[in-house]
Structures are given as C-alpha cells and as structure tokens.
C-alpha cells in the first residue's frame, strides 16, 4: 500500500510472518531514523499466549526490564556500543502499550539497521545479568519516586481509574516486583510478544523503500503469522476513583494536573492498524482543539490568570488515547490551585452554554494543523509519530485530513461528551511544610 499526503509518501506492507513495515522515504533528508517496536508495554502484565488456554500473569515492570536487557549480547559487546561505532545515536523506551528500539544517523544507515535487526531478535538472558540489572532498575525506580512530574501524572491516573486497571501500574514496576523477575519470565514474555506478528518496523529518511523492505525480509526470522495475543487490562468503572489526590514533595510551588476520563474513545477503537479507526482520530483532533480553546496560550483563561499572576507559564493540555483507556489533562503550576481549577471548569461550562465563535474555532484549528504539518519536516519526528500512532491503530496521515475537515458542530458535541465534571479528577503535589 502506498499513500501520499503533503508531498510525503508512506509505503506500508504486511509480511507473511505478520510483521508490519512502514517506510517513509524523504528525498534529500540529512538524517535517517528507524524503529523496531513490539506491542508490549506495562499494561501487558496479564495475557493468554496464542494456542494456550491458561492466563499468564507476570510481575509489574517486565516490559521495561526486557527493554534494558535486549541491548546486552552474548559476545559481551553492548548493542548501543556497536551502534555508536557506526555513528548512530541509539536508544529505547517502554510505554504503556509498546516497547521501541531506535536509532538515528546521518550516514552508514545500512550498518546501523543491520545491528538493530540483529540484537532485537537475539536476547541473551542469564541469572547473572538479570540479577545485576535489578540493582540498576531499582535506582531508576527510586529516581522516579522523587520526580514530582511523574508523581502528579500517576496520581492523576490513579484518581481517574483506581487500582483495578493496569494503566495505574508504574511502567518500570516497583522495587519489590522487579525482584521477582527471572530469565525464565523474560524469555516467556519475549517469545510471546517479540514475535513478528506483534511487531512493526518504521524507517524514515532518504532510503529506497524496495531495498529496505528486501533487507527486512532477509533479516527478520521467517515464521508463520500467529493469532493475536489475548490481553487483560482490568476494569474501567463509571465515574472516577478519587476526585482529588494530594501529596507533599520537595517542590517550590504546587504542581497540578486536571484530568477528564473519556468514556467513548475506547469503544471507537477497532483492533489493529485499521482505516476503521478514523473516528478515533477525529475525536482526538476535536479534544486537542478544545484543550487549546479552553486554556491554551491564546485563551481567555490563560490571559486572565497570567495577568493577575496566578500562573507564570503556559497551561499544558494533552489528550491521550490507547487501546483500553483515554483521558485529557490540563497541567499547571500555581500557588492558588483551587482558583485555576475553578476558572478552567467555569470556562468549560461557559463554552457549553454559549458555544465557540467561528473566528476562534478556525484560528485554533489552523494553528494546530500548522504545528502538526511541521512534524513532517524531519525524519525523526515523522517516524516517531507513525510508530506511536501505529500502536493506537491509526495512520498519522489521517490527522491531516481530520484537521482540514473537522466541523465546529462536531467539536461542540465532543465538548459536552468529554468535559464532564463527573469524570474529572485533580492531582496535586504540594510543597513540604
């Protein structure tokens, strides 16, 4: 399949072994970017592997732990060092729903790509190297425990979803949970989730799509496509678990996030990389527009609160949707948390009652559309967007069409559906006494 938007081409192919390949050639680009990613994140602690009848439950943090260990190779040379020697800047990350291994480079793409394809497919796990990694990851977990931004975010998730859903589990796990991880557990998860039928490769840069595709077909272990993995995420209950969560940390000014749990997005999503998910893209665009209108830098809310000194920098706004949950969040720093929360919620109710002017709607839509289009100017941003969106089941090009065609009446409908105070929670980190 080949698609073209904004003079950008997308080559997509689903291979016989189930692997999906996305190639975004950019003639004249100065850098290359590649990801090799699996649909395995912190949400996937409970699953039923293809062909099995029993449910497997693994300790929290396994996906993140496996991400750390895959760079270690049997020859004793770390894959990061190998990539560095050919001039590639490499990294990896684990999110709620996927793990990605990646690199960027300005030259020697073929060599770096060969290394990426090799180490992701060849895990080397022993009792010794797993035990050693536990100490390293334990330090990382403790670092996040002391990070107020991280704590505000996860407290908000807990307030919205409670302890019955996997989204409230820390991506890295806990010191206690990683202590339970063994090479056998890691190999079990690797063999289940690092199968080509559960993975995607995304490449962007001045490349020949046919040549890249041929290299992938030769390098990726050939096998029969497997059925989908059954995943168990937990329960999403009506309303929110806790309207307000506060904790104290070493911060100089209170840090707050206001979240609205979306009750419709997860019902819109169809499994897999599907054109049927366009309604979800459209809803995402509508909520992003609303977040900007309600409290963005050009909004009445921001102007008033900034002028009177209640806030000193922008109010962040973001909508997140994944395979089993969705929510929006405003984030800000202010000594007067209650005033900001009230001003934002008052503005939401005012917009529901009075509507949105055509001028504000069109200006906001054009601004966000322009910002989105600019992401395609760079190979790295392009590949990152397509990789992340792939695991949401959507095509990044669809956002272009949604921004261009979305109508105000639809946005007002989403405003009334999504920004419901019954589905709102507030998380705040306060300064220590």
Rounded distance between C-alpha atoms, residue 8 and residue 4, angstroms? 5
Q: Is the pLDDT of residue 95 over 90?
A: yes
DSSP sequence for 69-103 = HTT--TTS--HHHHHHHTT-EEEEEE-SS-EEEEE
Residues marked active site are found at: 67
Q: Is the pLDDT of residue 267 over 80?
A: no
Query: For residue 77, what pLDDT band results from cuts at 50, 70 and 90?
Result: confident
Residue with tokens 């912190």: 42
Rounded distance between C-alpha atoms, residue 198 and residue 337, angstroms? 43
According to DSSP, residue 147 is labeled -
Percentage with pLDDT > 90 across the chain: 86
β-pair partners for 121: none
Residue 193: which of 384, 69, 70, 63 has the closest Cα?
Answer: 63
Q: Is the pLDDT of residue 388 over 90?
A: yes
Which pLDDT score is estimated for 75? Answer: 85
Query: For residue 117, what pLDDT band results from cuts at 50, 70 and 90?
Result: very high
Q: Is the pLDDT of residue 251 over 80?
A: yes
β-pair partners for 56: 47
Helix, strand, coil percentages in the chain from 3-state DSSP, rounded to 5? 45, 20, 35
Candidate from 70-84, 147-161, 196-210, 267-281 with smallest mean pLDDT: 267-281
Which pLDDT score is estimated for 380? Answer: 87
Which pLDDT score is estimated for 371? Answer: 92
Candidate from 31-45, 203-217, 263-277, 340-354 with smallest mean pLDDT: 263-277
pLDDT, tens only, 348-385:
999 999 999 999 999 999 999 999 999 888 888 889 99
Cβ–Cβ < 8 Å for 158, 37:
no
* Structural domains for the chain: 2-231 (3.30.830.10), 244-431 (3.30.830.10)
Candidate from 102-111, 171-180, 372-381, 396-405 with smallest mean pLDDT: 372-381
Q: Is the pLDDT of residue 418 over 80?
A: yes
Q: Which residues contact 342 (CB under 8 A, 6 or more apart)?
A: none
Rounded distance between C-alpha atoms, residue 167 and residue 271, angstroms? 19
Q: Which residues contact 115 (CB under 8 A, 6 or more apart)?
A: 79, 82, 83, 86, 88
Tell me the mean pLDDT in the region 89-108.
96
Rounded distance between C-alpha atoms, residue 11 and residue 23, angstroms? 5
Q: Which residues contact 181 (CB under 8 A, 6 or more apart)?
A: 59, 61, 62, 65, 130, 134
pLDDT, tens only, 12-21:
999 999 999 9
pLDDT, tens only, 271-312:
677 777 899 999 999 999 999 999 999 999 999 999 999 999
pLDDT, tens only, 29-63:
999 999 999 999 999 999 999 999 999 999 999 99
Cβ–Cβ < 8 Å for 191, 185:
no
Which pLDDT score is estimated for 271? Answer: 67
How much is the pTM? 0.94
Mean pLDDT across the chain, nearest whole number?
94
Cβ–Cβ < 8 Å for 162, 242:
yes
């Amino acid at each position: 399949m080949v698609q073209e938007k904004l003079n950008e081409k997308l080559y997509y192919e689903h291979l016989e072994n189930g692997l999906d390949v996305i190639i975004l050639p950019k003639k004249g680009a100065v850098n290359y970017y590649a990801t090799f990613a699996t649909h395995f994140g912190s949400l996937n602690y409970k699953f039923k592997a293809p062909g099995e009848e029993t449910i497997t439950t693994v300790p929290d943090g396994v996906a993140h732990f496996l991400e750390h260990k895959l760079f270690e190779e049997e020859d004793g040379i770390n894959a990061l060092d190998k990539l560095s020697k050919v001039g590639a800047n490499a990294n990896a990350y684990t999110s709620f729903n996927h793990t990605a291994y990646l690199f960027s480079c300005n030259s020697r793409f073929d060599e770096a790509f060969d290394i990426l394809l090799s180490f992701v497919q060849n895990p080397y796990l022993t009792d010794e190297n797993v035990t050693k990694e536990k100490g390293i990851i334990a330090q990382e977990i403790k670092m996040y425990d002391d990070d107020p931004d991280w704590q505000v975010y996860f407290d908000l998730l807990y307030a919205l979803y409670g302890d019955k859903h996997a989204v409230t589990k820390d991506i890295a796990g806990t010191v206690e949970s990683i202590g339970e991880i063994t090479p056998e557990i890691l190999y079990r998860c690797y063999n289940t989730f690092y199968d080509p039928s559960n993975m995607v490769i995304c490449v962007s840069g001045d490349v020949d799509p046919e040549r890249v595709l041929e290299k992938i077909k030769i390098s990726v272990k050939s096998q029969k496509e497997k059925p989908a993995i059954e995943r168990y995420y937990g329960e999403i209950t009506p309303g929110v678990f806790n309207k307000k969560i506060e904790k104290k940390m070493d911060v100089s000014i209170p840090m707050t996030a206001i979240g609205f749990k979306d009750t419709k997005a997860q019902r819109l999503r169809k499994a897999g990389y599907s054109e049927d998910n366009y309604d979800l893209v459209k809803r995402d665009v509508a909520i992003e527009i609303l977040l900007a209108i309600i409290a963005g830098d050009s909004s009445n809310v921001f102007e008033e609160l900034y002028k009177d000194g209640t806030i000193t920098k922008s109010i962040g706004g973001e909508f997140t949707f994944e395979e089993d949950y969705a929510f929006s969040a405003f984030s800000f720093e202010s000594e007067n948390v209650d005033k900001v929360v009230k001003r934002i919620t008052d503005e939401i109710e005012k917009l529901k009652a009075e509507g949105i002017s055509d001028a504000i709607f069109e200006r906001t839509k054009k601004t966000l559309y322009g910002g989105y289009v600019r992401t395609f100017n760079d190979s790295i941003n392009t590949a990152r967007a397509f990789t992340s969106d792939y695991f949401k089941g959507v095509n990044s090009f669809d956002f272009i069409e949604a921004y261009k065609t979305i109508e105000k009446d639809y946005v007002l409908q989403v405003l009334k559906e999504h920004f419901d105070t019954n589905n709102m929670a507030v998380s705040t980190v306060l300064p220590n006494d």
